[in-house]
Structure 1
Amino acid sequence: MNLYRGILKITTVFVVIFLLASCDDDFSNIGGEIIENPSGVQLREYDINAYTVDLKSIQTNTPNPKLLGVYNHPVFGKKSASVLSQLRLGTTSPEFPEGAILDSVVLNLPYFSREDVDDNGDPIFELDSVYGDGGFRLSIRESRYFLNDLDPSEDFERAQRYYSDQQSLFEQFLTEDSIYVNENFVPSADRIRFIGENDEGEADTTYSAPALKVHLNRDYFQQKIVDMEGSAELSSASNFYDYFRGLMFKAEPIANEGSMALFNFTGADAGINIYYSYLQETTDDDGETVEETFVDSLGIDFGANIVNTFEGEYPEQIQQNIANGSENLYLDGGEGTLGVVELFDQEDLADLRSQNILINEANLELYLNTDLMNGANAPSRLYLYDLSNNAVLIDYSLDPSNNQNDPLNSRTIFSSLPETDEETGETKYTLRLTQHVINLIENDSTDVRLGVSVTSNIQQTTTVAVRESTPEISGEDDVEVAPAASTITPEGAVFYGSESSNENRRLKLRVYYTDTDL
């Protein structure tokens, strides 16, 4: 019988995946009895248990981009994201020419953006990963908190972890004066103009992609860097880490609205440049000695330890809904929340294992609860994973639509793009776990808990440590990690849960199968 199942599965499973979308209306489940559709594929719907877990503290000093700003989500409320980063000298033991004058200190943090051209053929940019269009207060201050690379409590054998809820700790070590303050910073899609000279010494204007590009306090860097020439503090990377321990980029709300942007602090163009000028004797075309002004720079990069911190509490109503049941499933990015899904009870699983059926498809359909979304943008994708073992599902790995160059349209069989019904306006997401269910039935695999989250990149499957979450999960499957791609977006959504009063939109496990005894 197993051989028969295998042959039939191979010949039908790929076809069925594409047919099922058009066959959904041909199934019904009344009183537990299945009404077959003409193709012989049947449907069973299983009640599941799904609930929300609030991630109170997550690791954020991983090599991911960082959020910076203030975002007022229509559902989840206002949250602020700040960044604490180590600094690294581009050149240790820097030497400055005699009489060098520090002209300017420029911070450059490019936005994620897409380039296009306008009607005149000139380049224009559209910002990506910017949420909201208001302003926030941005300040930059020196930090005297030492960010360890290795954890001293683990005998320096494990990388040090820093967490999203440690801002109050870090702020105790900030210097009093800021080296930059903008009382109303608003991200801009304007390209950056640079006026310089070409090879012939003529004035030349060049442009670069939009960036958070600002001038920092010149006197501060004169004392901190230039005046320290020849010192032990600038002589090595480790000495510099201890001397100049980092910068805190702090975002604070100034109004109900704000904006939050994603930045790659370790990108090639990210960092601080100290520009200085000096006079040097040269020989002109007539062979005479003249003094000429030269301009040079010293780069300071952001270090390996860069921590995202988050502030803000969910509205009281949201907290109560998260803690008191499964009427709705709240999935939020950033420090955020995730959903926990428990598929089968023992009786249902034993019943499935006892029958001679071929599983054609198994999926979860998550419907947006638009009544609770308050006009918020829906996330682009959802991600389903093995929460018990902190691993990807086999269906993720087997998805043939994998496309590294197009993450938005990749793995769309495993995790569909949001589908909106033109007539009803309802939006749903389909997460397929066909092979996972087949393994549960045919191979007696363990029925593990699953996790579901919003994701900013379905191709990214790395995880980050979770230090605290609530409510605590019963049994041994504590929430130890969360998907990293969920932590770098502030977007979220509300879905009908497994105990929703809306029977038609309630979250269930849908299993399409063929009875091989027929």
Structure 2
Amino acid sequence: MIRRIGVLGISLLCLATITSCEKDFSEVGTNVINNDKFETGEILLDVKITPIDTKNVQADNINATISDYWLGVYNNPNAEKIEASIISQLGYLSGLKNKENVTDGDTIFNLDKVILKIPYQATSKGTTNGITTFKLDSVLGNPNIATSIQVFQNETYLNTLNPSDPSKRNTFFSDSEYLGNTILNEDGVYEMKPKATDTTFIFDRIDRSSSLTNTTTYKYTVKAENSQKLKVPFLAIPLDLAKMKTLFWDKFENGEFASKEAFDNYFRGLKIMATGNDGSLVPLNLAASPTPSVDFYYTKSVVDGTTVKDTIQKEYSFPLAGVRNSIYKMTPAANPAPANNFVIQGTAGRIAEVEILDETKVQELKSNNWLINDASLTFYINQTINNDANVIPQQLFLYQNKKNEAGGISPTQLTDAYVDPASFSGVLKKTDDNTPEKYTFRITDYISKLLSSEENTTTDPLVLKVYNPTDAPVVNNVLTTSVKSYNWNPRAVTLLDGNETTNGTKRAVLKISYSKEK
């Protein structure tokens, strides 16, 4: 039978043969054993790759904490085009007013502007002469090409509980459809070209300080400040004043705003939809500060007859809060993967099934009576297609699709992912000149258990995907062996498959290092 040597195995051997233990065995790093009674070797085993179109992934924030909501269009010619959109409820505000009685005159409220404001993810480049400059983080595609953004009123109720079984939490996938065709943009379509210099938004505001009938305007500046009071870059989409007045302003003191439940049922959120053939894709952290919001800018004027006694500029701010979801509309790649290559892409892109050992091969290997020292699975990158390490996934992930008792599939963590996560890896490796080269997974524990016929270890196919934070098996010291289907990483990479004739030494391969008695 196949045996696995580790710390426990060595200890048992030492107890059995104390006088010869020290001279017979030497454990080096990865459990490789070197001595005069054993010989070592390695074998390379072919693997079979089957690309799979993901179709959809979990995308709501009901069951996971999501760090990035992508917005825009990313047309990578060697991967599926992504049109990424966002669905979000708005937070509830109580005690809203659009009129007020005072003792020394009438108070007139005038709605001036409504803006959807979402801060970009950005990093400070430093401060010079009191001005802080930024660079936008992780923008993919070409920000100089405008991406069309339309904001719609969502008319689908975003329930946190499963309507068919209220005892369970709901799930919204990335291809879920939402009702609602009412466009809320000021001009129908907003052309997004994200820039790090977008730290202000300026609009013409009516000067009501002297007369309510005045039509003279002045430039009013909107900004977004972080906790350090620094102006940060943000996306500002003007919304249609008349529509937002009807939907919100005119109903502030009506039943639709009487409670959070009433508001959530009345205004069910926004659909922020991106469309186009090309453009850019930007990550948006909707849970970060400053808070993304729909802001109502209004003027509050106290008048006596026709005389304006006092004017105050104020705003109501509805945060993007509650249930959120991402929509990923995927379109086939302009350039399909070359023969004997395959693409791995995040979001609702592509994964791959990897078959490494069937039952016949397992039995053949068992008969060798080897001690398994190391096992690794390596995938080389097509460097002609992917020569920029910054735009491809920085890490891939490997798990197993196990057949369950119900006849379905249970995505399951490999033991190596939590027994020795640092060695398990999957992290992008680069050459000395920073060219992306390969991804390697060490699956020694899995192979050892498989060849030792350990219970619950099967030859069911492995699955290769773009790594997502939800793939971590241990969070806050709690182990979860099931693998979630979330993925909000839009990057893609083209890999070489297991064809030796075409790909030679850079083919996808399983390498097993072993020791055997002489």
Counterpart residue number, 1:313: 331
Amino acid at match of 2:298: Y
- The answer on 1:392 being equivalent to 2:392 is no
| Residues 9 and 458 of structure 1: CA distance in aligned 2, closer, same or farther (over 3 Å) | farther
Amino acid corresponding to residue 47 of structure 1 in structure 2: D
- In the alignment, is the contact (CA less than 8 A) between 2:116 and 2:294 conserved in 1? yes
Provide Cα deviations, 1:435-462, integer angstroms capped at 9, x if missing partner.
1222222352223322111225487569
CA gap 1:143/1:5 in 2 versus in 1, 3 angstroms: closer
- For 1:418, which of 426, 429, 437 is the aligned residue? 429
1:502 aligns to what SS in structure 2?
helix
Alpha-carbon distance between aligned partners in 1 of 2:181 and 2:26, rounded to the nearest angstrom:
63
Q: Note the alpha carbon deviations across 1:235-263, whole angstroms, 9 max, x for none.
A: 1122112211221111121xx53101121
Q: What is the rounded CA distance, in whole Å, between the counterparts of 1:306 and 1:110 in structure 2? A: 16
Greater C-alpha radius of gyration: 2
Which ranges in structure 1 are unaligned for 5 or more consecutive residues? 21-35, 196-202, 282-289, 401-410, 463-479
Q: Indicate yes or no: 2:57 matched with 1:58.
A: yes
- Secondary structure of 1:126's partner? strand
Structure-1 separation of matches of 2:48 and 2:351: 14
Query: Among 353, 359, 365, which residue is 2:366 paired with?
Result: 353
Partner of 1:287: none
The partner residue of 1:278 within 293, 300, 305 is 300
Distance 2:196 2:94 in 1: 35
Matched, 1:293 2:293: no
Paired amino acid for 2:234: A
CA distance in 1, matches of 2:185, 2:83: 19
Q: Which residue of 2 aligns with 1:504?
A: 505
Q: How does 1:420-435 map to 2 (within 5 A)?
A: 420=431, 422=433, 427-435=437-445
| Number of residues of Structure 1 aligned to a counterpart in Structure 2 | 443
Equivalent residue, structure 2, for 1:110 = 119
SS in 2 for 1:59: coil
The alpha-carbon deviation at position 422 of structure 1 amounts to 4.8
* Equivalence for 2:86: 83
Can you list the C-alpha shifts for 1:463-505, whole angstroms capped at 9, x where unaligned? xxxxxxxxxxxxxxxxx97642xx3122111111123522212
Aligned-CA RMSD value: 3.7
**Amino acid of the residue matched to residue 173 of structure 1?**
G
Per-residue deviation, 1:2: 6.6
**Does the aligned pair in 2 maintain the 1:70–1:136 contact within 8 Å?**
yes
Pairwise mapping of residues 332-347 of structure 1 onto structure 2 (< 5 A)?
Answer: 332-347=345-360
Instruction: Tell me the TM-score normalised to structure 1 length.
Output: 0.75
1:265 matched to 2:286? yes
CA contact (8 A) 1:339 1:451 kept: yes
Deviations 1:304-344 (A, max 9, x none): 3222222242147638x7xxxx9323201121111111221
Matching of residue 233 in structure 1 with residue 242 in structure 2: no
TM-score, normalised on structure 2? 0.75
**What is the CA distance between 1:384 and its match in structure 2?**
1.1
1:144 alignment partner in structure 2: 155
Tell me which protein shows more helix as a share of its residues.
1
State the match for 1:470 in structure 2: none
How many percent of aligned residue pairs carry the same amino acid?
24
Question: Structure 1 CA distance, aligned partners of 2:232 and 2:27?
Answer: 46
Alpha-carbon distance in structure 2 between the residues aligned to 1:348 and 1:243: 61
1:413 and 1:481 map into 2 onto residues whose CA distance is 16
Q: 1:367 Cα deviation (Å)? A: 0.5
Correspondence for 2:265: 242
Equivalent residue number for residue 97 of structure 2: 95
Aligned AA for 1:496?
L
Counterparts of 2:329 and 2:198, CA distance in 1:
31
Matching residue of 1:490: 490
Q: Which residue identity does 2:196 align to in structure 1?
A: A
SS at 2:245 equivalent: helix
**Where do residues 324-339 of structure 1 align in structure 2 (5 Å cutoff)?**
327-339=340-352
- Which residue in 2 is equivalent to 1:46? 45
Structure 2's unaligned 5+ residue stretches are 12-24, 101-107, 203-220, 224-228, 403-409, 475-481
SS at match of 2:175: coil
Name the counterpart of 2:165.
Answer: 155
